A and B are shown apart, each in its own frame.
Chain A
Amino acid sequence: MTRVLSDEAVAAIQAERGRYPDPRSALLPALHIAQNEVGWCSADAIEDVAAVMELPTSDVEEVVSFYTMFYEDRVGSYVMEVCKTVPCAILGADQIIGHIADRLGISPGGTTPDGMFTLLRVECLAACHRAPVMQVNSRYYENLTPERVDQLLDLMRRQAELRRGQAREAPLPPLIGRVEAV
């Protein structure tokens, strides 16, 4: 019996295990599946993954702590990961980070008290030609300006209700869509 993972998630992980010559390869896919459902790699989620993967919990923890995309702490419903690497940095990344921090009243690394937004500074997202860039729940938002960020925050707030209970990596609602290059 798993504690937090749904039957669908368990079945999806089982299916992943069958796709590789060695089932251990399914560990990263399994953690993506679990985090998508639970929101982060909580101790319960890790135990569930370990059980389905037939691995010691410590093996799973070791992998979680190595990869930056696996969250070891609780994060908000929208994880705003703003790139701060050099091409973005010389084109205003810190301004965008500062703007979001200001609007949300949190510092990078923090989550709003309502659990809606987390702000993270991350390394190059491979979209330097559309700097400044961020990902929100693994989707790209590019050519950011403070105005665009405000628009996005507004839309996310308005749409948050609709998203309740949905998987994290479900695309943001169409209203928000992708911020296209200017």
Chain B
Amino acid sequence: MAQKTVLFKHLEQPEIHRLDVYRDAGGYGALRTAVNDLAPAEVTQMVKDSGLRGRGGAGFPTGMKWSFLPKEYDTSYLVCNADESEPGAFKDRELMERNPHQLIEGCLLAAYAIRARHAFIYVRGEYLAIKELLDAAIEQARQAGLVGERIFGKDWGCEVSVYRGAGAYICGEESAMLDSLEGFRGFPRLRPPFPAVRGLYGKPTVVNNVETLANVPHIVANGAEWFKSTGTEKSPGTKICSISGPVNRPGNYELEMGTPFRYLLEDCAGGMAGGKSLKAYIPGGASAPMLPGDCQDVGIDFESYPAAGSTMGSASFILFPEDCCIVFAQLRISEFFSHESCGKCTPCREGSRWLRQMVERIEEGGGREEDLPILLDVTDNMVGKCFCALGDFATSNIVASIRHFRHEYEQHIRERRCPFRPHPAAEPLLQIAGVA
């Protein structure tokens, strides 16, 4: 189990973003095969057989999602989730920047499988440059007859549009994304009905993450068995892992599923910078519970992290060094969720704000002994009671940081100050900025 290049072809072929280079490397061959030789249901079956699971965080089986569409319908849509707003995540960005045609081919294959004639790629608002790059790549593909009417001369055709959000984490939640795409505030929708039945413009819709869709051309080209030969039984394939924090080589690394975290940290990222030790890390972006730094033998896959008390999520690893204040880190996490709560439901809107205010008070030295049980009580009243998963996400690190680093909270409360101040990198300019 180690590094393996499937999606990151640009590491071997830096020019792969060009249509001619992509095609010379076999690109759009899977689409040609599918459109010429396979029925849409056969493409879905292949993806089902491959065991591909969604890379957006939840790990839902992709082929199964595609087969949830009703038997009969006149119009359907494919939506690619390129919102990538989870703190710590920056993998979809590289997939799009370095190899846009891989994603476009994946979108077309998925659209073909569900007989959609319009695919949307929803990019976060900050990805202006990526939108421009994708627009250009789509235009090239159109000139080559790969996008638009009558692809490969067949009856089926598909339009691909890039839609730019405008700064809202909640729009990464698939039903909120659909509202946003329709030109509204991005509020999550009540389910059922699920998007597969009533999605974009009320039509059957599949929403998939960028990395999920980027895998599809490889599965169609090489077969389900080939895909299953990599990774673990329940998490086949590779995973792009984003690693950030004070490591020597932060970045994205494509690893075979099941590879231990230690390999990512030591062999890929070159270990901790400056010889510091690892105090804690988050494996799946800010919404995934943090783990103590010594949990390094956990395999990077959908099963191992839940067993270790967290989730793999989008495999966005955030590392905290020995001199990092966990309460300060938690404050920034709580600020994020409080800012990003969409406000639709009360437990999330009010709860995320209370959590932030209490952690802020503790970090600033005004914490009280009874604050910790109150924090946990607030999380109890949020988990499973919010309209969408954002509410749960807002609680996960409160619970995990108190579980693993209760002594740091207690020290803040006892000493009536943050024992880590000045924070190594964060101060002393805090005051000047009017932030503290």
Contact = CB atoms under 8 A, between A and B. Distances in A.
A29 B328 CA distance: 37
B426 A86 contact: no
B425 A92 contact: yes
Interface string A82-115: 0011110111111101110110000110000000
B301 interface: no
Interface string A1-36: 000000000000000000111101111110110000
Contacts of B373: none
A86 B329 contact: yes
B90 A127 contact: yes
Contacts of B308: none
Interface stretch (B41-49, B144-152, B160-168): B160-168
B87 A25 contact: no
Given A66-B186, A69-B126, A129-B90, A90 B435 contact: no
A72 to B, nearest CB: 12
A20 B119 CA distance: 11
A86 B166 contact: no
Interface in B55-113: 75, 84-90, 93
A163 interface: no
B427 interface: yes
B129 A129 contact: no
B332 A86 contact: yes
Given A98-B435, A126-B84, A128-B87, A89 B329 contact: yes
Contacts of B27: none
B164 A85 contact: no
Contacts of B430: 94, 98
Interface residues of A, number: 53
Given A91-B246, A94-B427, A101 B432 contact: yes
B293 interface: no
Interface residues of B, number: 64
B429 A97 contact: yes
Contacts of A66: 168, 185-186, 342
B236 interface: no
B183 interface: yes
A37 B186 CA distance: 24
A53 B94 CA distance: 34
Contacts of A20: 161
Contacts of A93: 426
Nearest to A26: B183
Interface in B413-436: 423, 425-427, 429-435
B260 interface: no
Ranked nearest first, the 9 interchain pairs of A and B with the lowest CB-CB distance are A98-B429, A67-B166, A27-B183, A69-B167, A128-B244, A68-B167, A129-B250, A92-B425, A124-B87
Given A28-B163, A91-B246, A139-B129, 13 more contacts: A24-B183, A24-B184, A29-B164, A67-B166, A85-B286, A86-B286, A86-B336, A87-B88, A90-B329, A94-B425, A98-B433, A108-B434, A129-B90
12 contacts: A24-B183, A24-B184, A32-B164, A32-B166, A66-B185, A86-B329, A87-B87, A89-B329, A90-B324, A97-B429, A108-B435, A135-B126
